[in-house]
Structures are given as structure tokens and as C-alpha cells.
Structure 1
Amino acid sequence: MLCCSPSPAMESAEVESDILRRVRTLLRELDGHHPACQSDRGMLRWTLHKKIDQNPSNSPILVRILVKELERAERGDYRHYIIPLLHTLMYALIKAPCISDELCSRVYDFCTKLLTLPRPFCTIGLDYAARLKMERMAPGMLYQRMVISEQSLKSDPYPYQEKIFIFADPELLSEAICKALLSDTEAARVSQSPQACMCCVITHTMQAALGEGCDLSALRMRLQGMPSSEVEHWFQEVVMAVECTGSKVAADRGQHMERLQSIYSAILSSSPPGDAPLEGLQGTPLPNPNISFHLWTEDDQLWKELVLFIRPLSQSCEPDHLSQDLDNFEIQDIISDCECCEKTRFSVLSTDSGIERDLPPTSEEPLAPCSADTEQSRLHRKGGIKKKPSPLESVAFLQTGCNGPGVKPAAKVQRRVGIPAEPMAPLLRLHTARIVLLGDDRVLGRLAQAYHSLRKRETRRVFLTPRLNLQFYYVPVTGQPGTLAAAPSSPSKHLVTDLFITDVIAYYVRMGAQPVCFQVYAVKVFFSSSAQEPAEDVFLTELCAQLQDSIPSREVNPNKKKTTLDGPGVDLTVTYRKVVVSDRAKEVSLSLRSTGLSMKAIPANAAEDLACLNVDITEVVRINNLSGRSFSTVANKLKTCNIKIRSTEQRPFTLCLDKDSRRTYRSVISLEVSPCLEPSYCLQKSRTMKFSPHEAEDVGLVKYMPKSLLLPINTFAGVIQ
């Protein structure tokens, strides 16, 4: 019996049918009609991409199917399909070995259609349309830029660097999960070298531009036999060619192809010609990004890691910059009256040299004239403890933080009066730090604290802001012990060795570029003891207060025969600014008895679009009936941005921020909550008030500065209108 092998057309039809089935399964997941919609979300998309990675020649089929589904969703007004499918499409297009110009044109046309839709569709469409325009002009440009920045490869035409920092709450994640995350990130880092990543850029760019005319096997063999210096030379040539073409408004694509063809021929010129036929499109894997895993155990750990990312300790510090920074550092005089930063310590240049001769004269030891020799012999340092400062706190360390392209070295200080220092060249944000948080409300509250502290540091001494692009991401983790997203046991023999967690986080940070800005709220806490200073803190998600039940007081008084029963809870005075649609301020004051309250900054219902606090106060109501006196509770709901709560009978209560037991305040009698102000706004406001103390409203530069401190957390879609 004769067995006939299937024709290429039949195989292509089977592949297309399989991919279409997988895409339709993704759509059912988006509708919530798939079992995976409750658990293992993202698994279907991950397996789809891995299916294409096994056979990269099927990438055009996936792109074509996704374009058809996007066009159908746009015509049928299934808008909830558009953004997830578009992210999947762009990710496949970046990794694809070669996509025809006709197919890229269809994707580009669809992205431009999204410009007529509201946000975030129009913003995502505009972003992807701009990327596709560069990709059509210089094929392989998106892949090249992603690898260069994520691997921090040295490249003058594109000198950007990125790093992913995973910060996890040690009290939420189990030891097994932490070890798995640490091993995954370590394996992803050691599995690739800079030379291997340069080879990936060269091979992908050549195949994206030359298509099936590129002998990928011969090119890889030639690059593997080269010394690292020669590989870096050809890498720089390819990057220069692509960046020069992609940055031009009206570049000649034909000349670009000719230049890459000449580079391709030069690389293979020394290798013997082979007789093997071309194998078609093979594809180049996309290297895993640079990821580091951290357990968040210290309050200032985030700031330290960001400083080390910008300025590694291995780089030298020039002492000349120290004096320049101290000479220019007079900001503490301006910001000292700022309420937002009044508890912050500022660096002050001391006039006490520590030498006895420089001390002021006293009545016990009058200052007597002496000769120069005698005076020199009396110079010695006073006894004391010499503390070695941390390298990260060194002003010189921070001042010489970035010496990359676009940064001009700091000029030496001119000591003569009237000679200004040479102006500094503007810095470029060449570094991008992507902070991925694993946890729940507790780690978000910790991030709000760290972000507020970082903004205050930057107000006092600007270092990270002009150099660093800071991006935040959040992956919620349930409190179930020992669970986190994991790869399937054996979906395929080719998928067992894949790093699932690393792949999922990489996809999130690469494609989740739409920030949602959350208001950070400031809380001022007053305590029952007058000797205890008020505390100031911030929270992001929730504030909860537990009010202690009153104990029945039995008064020994002959005039009163009955026992006085106050009932549960504490008497409170609540003063708040009512939120109304017209945005007109309305002060409301009320008195009530309560057993507890909560303030939620993030509404549970997506339909609530008011940026305000949702305050729930459990009010105690006294009921008099024939059987006696009883009490019931009712829920009092308020919407406000500014609120003050005070215990009228001085009975203390307990306060907890962002569900974090480590941030619990006890013996509280009063609290004030308001939107946290941006520290830079406070600084500029204090400057303005110093020269115009009678101005009631914001004037000058303050009028155009952001007033509230907003924490941007990146998502795939942003806020859907």
C-alpha cells in the first residue's frame, strides 16, 4: 500500500486552521467563556507564541489571521478584542523573521483607523503606527532596538539601556516561589552573552531585510567563528545602517537594502561557498531581557538599586565634582518652610572644621596672640567618632553619575568672584528602569512610600530624574501559600525547558505601555499623648481604623441609681469636603458614633470614575423601645478628597495603612487625609510665597506644575473610556 505525503498546500492549510483555532480560543477567553479565564490567564497567548517560535516561518500566517480578526472586531464593534489582539500581533511581528510589505501595510492601515476612537485605542494605535512606519522603512529595527536596550549593548546610534527589577513582598511569597523566581532570572541572565546577542541582531536584521535570500545557516556559522572584536565591528555596522535609514523622514529603502547586502557579502566573503540550498525563513530567538530579583526588605532599597543602575560602584568618582555640588547646594534654605518636606533631613555644609584653633573663644581660655610656628604646632583634630558614609549617599558619587553620550562632563568650579561656571549640557534619559511588583495592597503601599521618598530626594538633589525613565508594573499575587503562575507540566516536548515566568514578565513590560495614574494620599496622625509628635505617612489603596468599644461605666453617685451605658464605638467629629459633579468645594461637618471606618482610594466598581476617597463609616444608632435601649449599625458612605476625623472624647483608636500590619498606628485620637502634594510643587510654591507672600492663588511657574503626586502603573490598556 502506497503512502502519499501531504502536499505543502495541505500542510499550510492545516497550520492555518490550527492557528485560527488557537486565536478563536483567545477570543473566548476574553469573553470569559473559557475555563482558563479564571486561572492561568495568559497561558493561551504564551502557548500560541511558543508554537510560532518552534516554526518561525508560520509568523506571516499568524499576523494575517490576527489582522483579519482585528478588522472583524472593528467592524462588529467588539472593542474589547482590539487591544489584546493588537498587542499579540505586534509581539509576533517584532519576533517574525520576515514580514511582507503588503502585510505590514495592512497592519499600519488598521492602526491609523484607531485614531478615530477614544483613548486608549487612539494612543495605542498612534504608537504602533509610528513603530510600523520605521519598521517598513528599515526592517528589523524594532527587534534591534529592543535587544540593544534590554541587553545594554554599547551602540552610539542607539545608546539606550533598560533593566527589569522584580521586587517581591517577602511576607507574601513562600520560600519555594522566591527560589523559583531567583533561579529563573539567574538562568535567563547567564544563558546569553553580549556577543551572542550581537549575533542575534545581525542575523535577524539580515533576514528581515533580505528575506529568503539570506543564508542564515552560513551567516550563523561565520559569526560563531569570529573573534568578539570582529563580531562587534559588524554589529556596529548593521546598527548604523538601520538607524540611519529609520531616523530619516524620506529615506531610500533601496539604498538601505544595498548597504545591508554589501555588509552581508562582506561577512561571508572569507567563508567558502556552500552548495547546500537555502532553508527558507528560520527566525532568530528574542533574547530574554536583563532581570534582577529582589526581596523588598529595606525602605530605601528601591532608590539604592536605581542609583546603582545609573552609576555602578565600579566607576570612579572624581573629587572635583564634590565642591561644585556643595557650592550650588542651597536648596535647603528655600525648602525649609515647606510642610510637605519639613521632616526631611538636608545636607548642610558645616562651618566647624573640628580644629581647636577654629573654635570660638571662651571665658576659661582667652585667645592670646601667638606666632605662626606656635600656632601651627597647636593644630590637631578633636577627638570623636569618624563615620564612613555610604558610597550611595556620596554627593560626588551622585554628581558623576552619568558619562554617556549626550552628557557633558561637569566643569571645575571657578573660585574667583564674577567668573561663572561653565554651563552643563542637558542630560538624556538613556536608562529605563522597569519596576515589577509582586504582591498585594501591602507592596503597593510600600511602593507609594518609596516613590514619595524618591520624589523628595529628587527635589533636594536632582540625580535620577534627568537620567532615568521610571516605569512601574504590578502583578497581583494571591495569599494562598505555595501558589504562583507556572508553566504547564508538558504541553509539548519543546516547551518544557522554557522559562515561563520570565517570558510572561518580559511580555508584560514590553507591551504594557499604557500608564494608569493613581493618586497618593497623605495622612497626618495625632496621638493621645501630647509628648508624642504627630506622624506623617502616605497610602495608596486603603486606610482602615478600628475603634475600640466603650466599656460600660458604673458611676458611684448617690444621685444616680442607674448604670450609664454609652454603647459600642467612639464619638467622632468628621469634617470633609464633599465631592460633587460640579467640582464646587462644599465643606460638611457631622458628629456620630462609630465602631470603625475605611477609606478606599481605588473603587471596586469600574463604573466609578471619580478620583476620590470612598469613605465607609460604621455608625452606631441608638434605639429606644418598650423593652429597653438597644443599638444598631448603619453604613455611612462619603465621597471626598479631604477629610478630618477626631475623637471628641479623647478615646484612642488604631489605624492601619494599605492592609499592612507593619504600618499600624496605635493610640490615635485624630487624623487628617488629603491628596499628597508633589514635592517639586511644594518647593516652587514656597519659592513663590517667599517673594509674594500675599498671593492666595498659584502664580508664575507653580500654575503649570502638577500639584498632586500621582503614581503611574503601566497596563496593557490603560483607562478605557
Structure 2
Amino acid sequence: MDSSELESDILRRVRALLRELDGHHPSCQSDRGMLRWTLHKRIDQNPRTSGVLARILVKELERAERGDLRHYIIPLLHTLMYTLIQAPCIPDELCARVYDFCKRLLTLPKPFCTIGLDYASRLQVERTAPGTLYQRMVISEQSLRSAPFPFQERIFIFADPELLPEAICKALATDTEAAQVSQSPRGCMSCVVTHALQAALGDTCDIHGLRARLQALPPGDVEHWFQQVVAAVEGAGSEGGSGRGQHTARLERIYHGLLGSLPAGNAPQEGLQGTPLPNPNISFHLWTEDEQLWKELVLFLRPLSQSCEPEGLGQELEPVEMPDMLAGCGCCGQSRFSVLSTDSGIERDLPAQEEPCAPCAAAAERSRLHRKGGIKKKPSPLDSVAFLQAGSAVPGGKPPGKMPSRAGMPPEPAAPLRRLHTARVVLLGDDRILGRLAQAFHSLRKREARRVFLTPRLDLQFYHIPVVPGQAQPSAAADHAGPEELCEVARYLGRADPWYESNINTLCHMIPKLATMVLFQDPAQDPAEDVFLTELLTQVQESPSHRELSTTKRKSTLDGPGMDLTVTYRRVVLSDRHKELALSLRSTGLLMKAIPAEEAEDLGCLSVTITEIIRTSNLAGRSFSAVANRFRTRNIKIRSPEQRPFTVRLDKDGRRTYRDVIGLEVSPCLEPSYCLQKTRTTKFSPQETEDVGLVKYLPKSLLLPINTFAGVIP
């Protein structure tokens, strides 16, 4: 897709979003909001499109300002800022236009002035040090250690287990765990380094060489360069607007030091590549316990792995909670009274007390204290004073103890606490889960009134995603409350925030439908490996669930038949020089043949035929035509960016048909003994690429010896 087609396609999507805000979109009510999520997903898959999308959004914002269409401003501005964060390089004139627009919002009432002030301050830092917003988001969401920017952030999803289907709960839990396992701190650091250098140097940055260099470095060196980049970016942001040139010079020196002898000007002219944002740190929880919110927040602020020894945990309860625990004890023979002390606290002013004799004291102690037999319960480590005090030792935090001041010296003022942690608590459910939240929040504030721990150090934010049950619950039927009546809070928030109305409230009907998708039938299924000899055929899989989630008529009229595919392959040419190519197209399927059509063709490569859908516009309207795109390759990767499933059939064998496939990779099948020897030789020398030892005498490819009657082995 060329630049003009890409711009027209994105403009069409943005205009559809605006029609959706007006309530004039032809799609059904339950599908509202999906256009924005698919647009965000497209930016995640290909950040290079963010530049075109940013310019279109700026024009639409300025047009909405001239036409006094205020309900367009907040949804478009949120989408624009998300786009600018992922943009490989933002032109300064475009960033200045957005900054001026945000300043003009200060003259409007809330919430426009509040959002405009927040985004204007962010853009001011981004203009001084490009890449700051991306860097800060990754550092905080991934909890990377960084002295210049020590903030951490985590998303907690609490779902109502009685409301959400079991398939949804399992899929969300598995997906969040898999997202954390698939990415490492080293990969997130590499993303920060790559994005910061490209944002500062532009298209002169060799993005492929930079990624290869970071991949080859050991983890310690990657962290070293990460800290260098973070210090340079944060230092430029704190210097003010005059540090743009110095910031570029610093990152250019880091770039030369990282790549070594490769100069900055020898980058291949492939345009800006972009670096996708890593998945944020999300934890999924079924809200089954009343104190679950408190426990998760304490563990986020002070993980058990960073606390004191396990033997020392839980040995001492909070003194402020001790009277509450003893008040309910029925075995105490004497009443406990609250006595107001009137003494001065000086030892010489205390009245003399007679020491009782030992037998009398022992008798009095036995008469006052009596303990019945019972089970000794070990207190939770989360209620330990040592655990909470250890959590206070954070940068900028208040010391747990206070040294007595010298006589005549004024006491030193306590250092102010900084909220370095942000917890975003997302609730999945209807109004009933909000009642549980109110109870948990009241309990949390009650704890904080006794001993302040979370409040000065944690920025706690709550978000609500409404979920309508798929079928009427017995309790709801008894109370004569329908599904819509159980989401009154969400409807109220939608009236106050158009972005919430068009993007969040629409999920109340969509989330229960996710349980019926093919996508969630077996989320824990491992990738399958197979060997085919002659043919591989893929076709678009039309499932009922996908037809429900997207209107078939709208898809056929706008995007045409088929599905979007991302194809990366190594092209085979006559000169035997490999060339890596990548393309994005819309296709109804493809066919791979291993047997050449003619004897002169090479048997060691695949002939790939992709049925590509071409869209043409004429006076009669838009039409679609199928074109066969043919090439030869040995290695190929195919992905579905929109996660649409397709079927794969091997060797014309119906018994070897795979359904619900969203990606495949085809490469030459290697000899198992070669792979074993290769693994052993490269174990102690990861940088070694040359075949050594017995590997030199083993065939790399797996040969299938098929004899002919003439004695020829093909």
C-alpha cells in the first residue's frame, strides 16, 4: 500500500470514528468502539503509520475547534497522544501545532482545560528531548530500575468471578501471564535505547544494525547503554528548551559508542521503522477475598522478595491493632480501661511504687491472665511492622525511625515522601463490584488512619469497565433488575466523558462475546510443528463468532474480501544472494509448492502463490479484483495482524488440517543430528556461526530418499 492509499485509508477510519461519536455510524450498537481499538492495534503492529495518522488527527482537531465540535476533542486528543508516543520521530512543527492546540484548551472549562494542561506539559518535555514520553512509559510500566526516573506503575485487573464466564477468566489470566513471560527486561531496555536514538537522530539511525548490536550484547552491557540513554534523555528534559542540540549531540555520541566503527550516516534508506510499545505489567485477579486489594497493593509497594528474611516476618503485630484483637478476647478476667495519663513523663516526677513480693505478684498474674488451649495462628507477613517499615526505605521516603535531637538544636524537618508507585486498579463487572470496591476502599482508609503506609507512597487510581452478563442471573431476576440497570454508574460516566462512552461502555456487550470466539477455545495451546513435502494451503477461516464481532456488510464494502496478512520472506534470486523482504497485503489464501513446475527450476526452494485482493476506484464506485502474487523463497513467516484465524492444510491431507491459526513459519527442515551437534558446539561460544567438529560432515537438510525403478534418487 503506497502513501496515498495509506493516507486515504486512515482518513476513512478517522472519519468513521467521528461519525460514531455523532451516533450516525451504520454499525450496530454493540460494535461501537471497535473501530478505535482496531486503529490502536494497527499502530501497535506498524508504528511507521503513526506519522500519517498524527497529521490527520491534528487536522481533525483543528477542524473540530473551528466548528465548535467539542465532543470530538477529547477522543481525538487521547488517540493523538497515544500515536505521538509510539511515533519513531515527530517533526517539530507538528509537535508545536499540538502544543499550541493544548494551550488553547486552557480557556475552556473542565475537563478540557485539565487535559490540555497535562498534555501541554508533556509535549513541552518531548520537544526538548524526543523520546521522553516513550521512555518514561516503558520504565514505569515495566518497573525498570532507573535513578533519573524511579517511578513504577502496575495495572491490577479485578474481575467478578460470578459474572464473567469461566472461559473469559482463564483466557485473561493466561494472556496476561504469557505477555509477561514473552518479554524480558533486556528486551524492554533495548526498545528504550532504540526508540530514543531514532527519535533524536531520525532517518540517519541504522535501526537494523542497532537492533542486531543490542541483540548480540550481553545483558550487563545492554543495561549499561540503557542507563546512559536514560540519563541523557532525562538530563535534557530537566535543562529546559535550550537543550535540544545538546541532547542530540549526546545521543549521537552514545550511538557511535554503541555501534563502534559504523558511522551514523551509512544507514540504509528504508525510512523510519518504529519500535512498538512492550505490553504493560498487568496482573489479573478474581476478586474472591475482602482483603485482596490491600494485599496486592502492599506486595506491589514492597515485594516479599525484597523484604527481610522470612523468619523475621510476622513475628510482631502492629501495636495499633493489638487493642482491637484483645477487645474480643473473652478469656480475660479483668476489664480493660482507657486511662488518660497526666504525668510529665520525667522519671523523678513519677510516684514511688512498692515492689510486691514474688509470690503475690505471681498469684496476681495468674489470676489476671488465663489462656485457654487453642491453635497458634501465624500472622500474615503483610501485617508485620518490620515488613511495612522495610517498605518505607524508598528513595525520597521518610526514615522509619527518628533520632533524638540534641539539646538546644531544632529538630530536622522530615523529608517529604514521593509517590513513586502508581497502581491502576481496573474493575470488570457491573455496579455490584463497585459496592465491593467501596467496602475495600473504606477498609484501606481505615488501616491508613491507624498507620499511614500506602497513602503517602502510592498513587491509587480506579477504573471501571462495565460487563453485562450474557444471561440473566437468578439474583437479578429476583430483584427485577435487568442487565442494563446494573450498569448505571457506567452510563453516568459515559454522559460525562464522550471517550468513555464510545470506547469503554461498548465493551459491556463485547466482553461476554469473547467467550464464544475461537480465539479463546484453547488459549494454552502450544505452537504445533509439522513437516510437509509437497504442498501447503491456507484459507481464510470464517467463524460465526467473527461474523458477530464485525459486520460482514461493512467489512466487504470497505476492506473487501479476505484478511490482512503480514508476510516476511527471504527471496531466492538467480545470483544466490538472499534478500529479506516484508509486505502487508489483503489476501484470501496462499499456496506453497515444493515440487517445481518445470525441470529447470530449483528443487531446493518453495514456489509461493498469494491471492492478493486489489482495491480499485472508478466512476461506478469501488471494486475488488484478485491478483496472483508469485515468488520463490526458502524461509517465510506469515502473521495475521488483526488476529483473524485461518486454516492450514498440509500435503492435500485432510487429516493434517490445522484450524484457528494466526501465524505460521516455514523453513528448511534440518537433520536432527545436525541440530544436536550444532547445539553442543555453540553452547559455550554463542557468537560462533561456523560449522565445527562433526557438523562439517553432516548434511544440514533432512533428505528423504525416494528410489525410482531406474535407480535414480531424487
Please indicate the TM-score interval, normalised by the length of the shorter structure.
0.5 to 0.7
Matches within 5 A, 1:481-492: 481=471, 483-484=512-513, 489=546, 492=564
What does residue 121 of structure 2 align with? 130
8 Å Cα contact 2:10-2:53 kept in structure 1: yes
Q: In structure 2, what is the equivalent of residue 536 of structure 1? A: none
Aligned AA (2:565): K
Answering whether residue 417 of structure 2 is matched by residue 427 of structure 1, we say: yes
The answer for the alignment partner of 1:317 in structure 2 is 308
The answer for the alignment partner of 2:166 in structure 1 is 175
Residue of structure 1 aligned with 2:222, choices 215, 231, 245: 231
Residue type matched to 2:564 in 1?
Answer: S
* Equivalent residues of 2:103, 2:120 under 8 A apart: yes
Q: Find the counterpart in structure 2 of residue 468 from structure 1.
A: 458
Contact 2:307 2:391 in 1 (8 A): no
Return the alpha-carbon distance in structure 1 between the equivalents of residues 418 and 137 of structure 2.
18
Match of 2:565 among 482, 493, 496: 493
1:596-651 per-position Cα deviation (integer Å, ceiling 9, x unaligned): xxxxxxxxxxxxxxxxxxxxxxxxxxxxxxxxxxxxxxxxxxxxxxxxxxxxxxxx
> CA shift at 1:156, angstroms?
0.3
Q: Secondary structure at the match of 1:294?
A: strand
Give the TM-score normalised by the residue count of structure 1.
0.58
**Distance across 2 between alignment mates of 1:412 and 1:399:** 13
Report if aligned partners of 1:111, 1:128 keep a CA contact under 8 Å in 2.
Answer: yes
Residue range with higher mean Cα deviation, 288-297 or 115-124: 115-124
1:324: how far off?
12
**Alpha-carbon offset, residue 39 of structure 1:** 1.5
Q: What is the rounded CA distance, in whole Å, between the counterparts of 1:437 and 1:35 in structure 2?
A: 30
Query: Where does residue 387 of structure 2 map in the other structure?
Result: 397
Q: Could you tell me which residue of structure 2 aligns to residue 454 of structure 1?
A: 444
User: How has the CA–CA distance of structure 1 residues 353 and 273 changed in structure 2, closer, same or farther, with 3 Å as cutoff?
Assistant: farther
* Paired AA for residue 255 in structure 1: Q
| Residues in 1 aligned to 2:216 and 2:262: alpha-carbon distance in whole angstroms | 10
Partner of 2:474: none
Q: Contact between 1:325 and 1:399, CA under 8 Å: does it hold in 2?
A: no
How much does 1:100 deviate?
Answer: 0.4
Q: CA deviation at 1:124?
A: 0.8
Determine which of 84, 96, 99 is the counterpart of 2:90: 99
Q: Could you tell me how far apart the structure 2 residues matched to 1:171 and 1:332 are?
A: 35
How many Å apart are 1:301 and its aligned residue? 0.7
> 1:19·1:62 contact (CA, 8 Å) conserved in 2?
yes
Q: Quick one: structure 1 residues 131 and 414, their matched pair in 2 at CA, closer, same or farther if it must change by over 3 Å?
A: closer
CA distance in 1, matches of 2:79, 2:109: 21
**Does the aligned pair in 1 maintain the 2:105–2:112 contact within 8 Å?**
yes
Residues 377-396 of structure 1: matches in 2 within 5 Å? 384-385=373-374, 386-396=376-386
Partner of 1:641: none
Q: Which structure shows the higher strand fraction?
A: 1
Distance in 2 separating the partners of 1:206 and 1:422 = 44
Please report how far the alpha carbon of residue 222 of structure 1 lies from its aligned counterpart in structure 2 after TM superposition: 0.4
Show the counterpart of 2:435.
445
- Supply the AA of the counterpart residue of 1:44: L
- 1:73 paired to 2:64: yes
**Which residue of structure 2 aligns with residue 294 of structure 1?**
285
Query: How many residue pairs were aligned?
Result: 462
Verify the 8 A CA contact 2:57 2:80 in the aligned structure 1.
Answer: yes
Q: Which amino acid aligns with 1:428?
A: R
Letter paired with 1:222: R
- Per the alignment, residue 272 of structure 2 pairs with 281
Contact 2:155/2:423, CA 8 A, preserved across alignment: yes
Q: Distance in 2 between matches of 1:497 and 1:434?
A: 28
- Larger deviation: 479-488 or 85-94? 479-488
Q: Post-superposition shift, 1:330?
A: 6.7
When residues 203 and 273 of structure 1 are mapped into structure 2, their CA distance, relative to the original with a 3 A threshold, is closer
- Residues 405, 411 of structure 2: 8 Å contact kept: no
Q: Is the 8 A contact 1:321 1:410 kept in 2?
A: no
Paired AA for residue 93 in structure 1: L
Residue pair 1:200, 1:284 contacting (<8 A) in 2 also: yes
1:192-341 aligned within 5 A: 192-269=183-260, 277-317=268-308
What is the letter of the counterpart of residue 279 of structure 1? E
Partner of residue 679, structure 2: none
The aligned amino acid for 1:492 is D
Cα gap change, 1:491/1:178 in structure 2, threshold over 3 Å: closer, same or farther?
farther
- The separation in 1 between residues aligned to 2:170 and 2:196, in whole angstroms, is 37
Q: Name which of structure 1's ranges 273-282 and 446-455 shifts more when overlaid on structure 2.
A: 273-282
| Contact 1:137 1:251 (C-alpha < 8 Å) held by counterparts | yes
Residue equivalent to 1:524 = none
Q: Distance in 2 between matches of 1:18 and 1:465?
A: 47
For the 8 Å contact 2:140–2:153, the answer to whether it is kept is yes
Q: 1:453 is matched by which residue type in structure 2?
A: S
Q: What is the aligned partner in structure 1 of residue 705 from structure 2?
A: none
- Give the structure-2-normalised TM-score: 0.59
Judged with a 3 Å threshold, the aligned counterparts in structure 2 of structure 1 residues 390 and 88 are, in CA distance, closer, same or farther, namely same
Q: Could you say if the C-alpha distance between residues 353 and 420 of structure 1 is closer, same or farther in structure 2, counting changes exceeding 3 Å?
A: farther
- Relative to structure 1, the CA distance from residue 411 to residue 347 in structure 2 (aligned partners, 3 Å threshold; closer, same or farther) is farther
Q: Over residues 327-358 of structure 1, what are the superposed CA-to-partner deviations in whole Å (9 max), with x where a residue is unaligned?
A: xx67999xxxxxxxxxxx4789x9x999xxxx
SS of residue in 2 equivalent to 1:483: helix
> Corresponding residue for 2:631?
none
SS at match of 2:463: strand
Is 1:39 the equivalent of 2:30?
yes
> Secondary structure in 1 aligned to 2:391?
coil
Q: Is the 8 A contact 1:30 1:37 kept in 2?
A: no
SS of 1:164's partner is: strand
Instruction: Kindly report which structure 2 residues correspond to 1:560-639, keeping only aligned pairs within 5 A, or say none.
Output: none
Structure 1 residues without counterparts, runs of 5 or longer? 1-9, 334-344, 355-365, 373-379, 501-721
Secondary structure of the residue that 1:115 maps to in structure 2?
A: helix
CA contact (8 A) 1:162 1:432 kept: yes
Question: How big is each residue's C-alpha offset from its partner over 1:120-141, in whole Å with a ceiling of 9 and x where there is no partner?
Answer: 1111111111111110100000
What's 1:158 paired with? 149
Between 242-251 and 32-41, report the one with greater CA deviation.
32-41
- Which structure features the higher share of helix residues? 2
Work out the percentage of aligned pairs sharing the same amino acid: 67
Aligned 8 A contact 1:56 1:281 in 2: no
Q: Secondary structure at the match of 1:492?
A: strand
Give the distance between the partners of 2:190 and 2:103, measured in 1 at CA. Answer: 34
Q: CA deviation at 1:279?
A: 2.1
Q: Displacement, 1:278?
A: 3.4
Partner of 2:8: 17
Q: Over aligned residues, Cα RMSD in angstroms?
A: 4.0
Distance 1:229 1:99, change over 3 A: same
Amino acid at match of 2:232: A
Contact conserved, 2:132 with 2:234, CA < 8 A, in 1? yes
Aligned 8 A contact 1:153 1:194 in 2: yes
Is the 2:256–2:264 Cα contact (8 Å) retained in structure 1?
no
1:118 maps to 109
Structure 1 residues 42 and 173 mapped into 2: Cα distance closer, same or farther (>3 Å)?
Answer: same
Where does residue 19 of structure 2 map in the other structure? 28
